[in-house]
């Protein structure tokens, strides 16, 4: 059922895009501050997918999105069980893979890996610099960065959320 006669779908899509972007920004900030992605972030991203799909798409293509999201969940859940990845990361990657589906899912994973690798490399460089040059920590303004580098912590939610924001136009192009 199309809602075009009842509501202005352009306004609904803009509201969905703004909510999507806002929720991902909130998830990124939460992961930076508390090293935790709230369940509400993944839930809202998934609900927005189904809402947007209901408004603008036909039911035939839904299966490939569900397969991509479910496959991502099973794959990343194995990393969670192994202790490599946090539960919030697993849920958010799965919710964003719903959006990506078979078409944009691989691009999402590649962009996420590139951003994550770049940020992890920078933290590793900080860690090596602080070990080789003990007074280097005086030049790193952020206490949070110093602690992450010293302890080997990397909030991967930053890479996940940035990848979702980068692919936002592609996710909504149906």
pLDDT tier, 44 (very low <50, low <70, confident <90, very high otherwise): very high
- Give 44's DSSP letter: H
Q: Mean pLDDT score of the chain, rounded to an integer?
A: 92
87 neighbors 79 (Cβ within 8 angstroms): no
Q: Residue 169, Cα to own-chain centre: how many angstroms?
A: 15
Is 93 within a domain? yes
Question: What confidence tens digit (pLDDT) does each residue in 10-32 have?
Answer: 888 899 999 999 999 999 999 99
Is 173 within a domain? no
Is 134 within a domain? yes
Is 150 within a domain? yes
Is 112 within a domain? yes
Range from 59-73, 102-116, 153-167 carrying the lowest mean pLDDT: 59-73
Domains in the chain, number: 1
Whether the per-residue pLDDT at 2 is higher than 70: the answer is no
Is 4 within a domain? no
**What residues make up the domain containing 98?**
9-168
Q: What is the DSSP string of 4-25?
A: TTTS-HHHHHHHHHHHHHHHHH
Question: What confidence tens digit (pLDDT) does each residue in 107-157 have?
Answer: 999 999 999 999 999 999 999 999 999 888 788 888 899 999 999 999 999
For 115-139, give one letter per residue: b (16+ CB within 10 A) or e. bbeebeeebeebbeebeeeeebbee
């Amino acid at each position: 059922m199309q809602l075009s006669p009842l509501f202005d779908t352009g306004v609904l899509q803009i509201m969905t895009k703004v909510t999507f972007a806002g929720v991902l920004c909130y998830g990124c900030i939460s992961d930076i501050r508390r090293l935790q992605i709230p369940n509400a972030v993944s839930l809202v991203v998934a609900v927005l997918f189904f809402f947007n799909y209901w408004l603008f798409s036909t039911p035939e293509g839904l299966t490939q999105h569900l397969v991509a999201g479910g496959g991502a969940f099973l794959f990343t859940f194995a990393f969670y069980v192994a202790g490599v990845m946090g539960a919030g990361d697993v849920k958010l990657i799965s919710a964003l893979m719903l959006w990506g589906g078979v078409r944009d899912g691989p691009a999402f994973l590649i962009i996420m890996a590139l951003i994550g690798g770049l940020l992890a490399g920078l933290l590793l460089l900080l860690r090596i610099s602080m070990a080789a040059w003990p007074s280097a920590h005086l030049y790193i303004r952020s206490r949070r960065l110093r602690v992450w580098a010293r302890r080997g912590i990397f909030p991967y939610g930053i890479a996940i959320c940035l990848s979702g924001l980068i692919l936002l136009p592609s996710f909504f192009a149906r």
